[in-house]
Amino acid sequence: MKRLLCFLGLLFVAGGELPGAEPQVLLEEKFTAELSKDWFWGLGTWTSKDGVLRGFESGTRRHGPVKMRKLVLKDAVLECDFRLEGKATFAGIIFNGSQERGHIVHLVMGKDAVRILAHPKKGENVELLKQSNVLSTGEWHHVKMEFKGETLTATIDGKTFTASHPCIAEEKQTFGLGGDSGGPEGEKAGALEFRSLKVSG
């Protein structure tokens, strides 16, 4: 009995968790009501209702829709469904450091390709991966992003894409959902939709 207790104690000291422990749910969004204040900034027009977060380009600034949320994490897993509507060309999920640090890493899920972009320092862009991949418009797609140290593994509809860079290991303070919804004509051009968002770590 004493040996068993010593062994369990060593496990907690070494790793903090027993093997097979369930990851902690850090965030789960149902999108059935108005967004909380943790969704603190955005471009375009966004609505959250009936289980779907929907965004499209609007306003004088020519930029695709993006909605940002506060959530501090390092190694973690993010999962959600997304859909391209109308003339939308890609959906993206971007992770940022502090306001001074700026963007860290960006997953771009386009109609014909997947890209992973790293931002080693503010204003710098490095394309870590660009790989052909077809996404149908008007259909739901599932994405799972797993951060582990310097490596990001993204699985889209069961197909896996992996990239590594030292900056990926940095602490992320916010993340954003967005992309290109089809252009300045607004909702008439197209929209981006997200649902069933879950982050665990």
Q: What is the pLDDT of residues 99-143, one digit of tens each?
A: 999 999 999 999 999 999 999 999 999 999 999 999 999 999 999
CATH code for residues 21-200: 2.60.120.560
pTM of the model: 0.88
**201: closest CA among 166, 167, 175?**
175
At 23-56, the pLDDT tens digits run 899 999 999 999 999 999 999 999 999 999 999 9
**Cα torsion for 39, 68, 78, 159, to the nearest 10°?**
140
Q: Are 35 and 197 in contact (CB under 8 A)?
A: no
Please state the domain extents for the chain: 21-200
- Residue 122 token pair: 């503010």
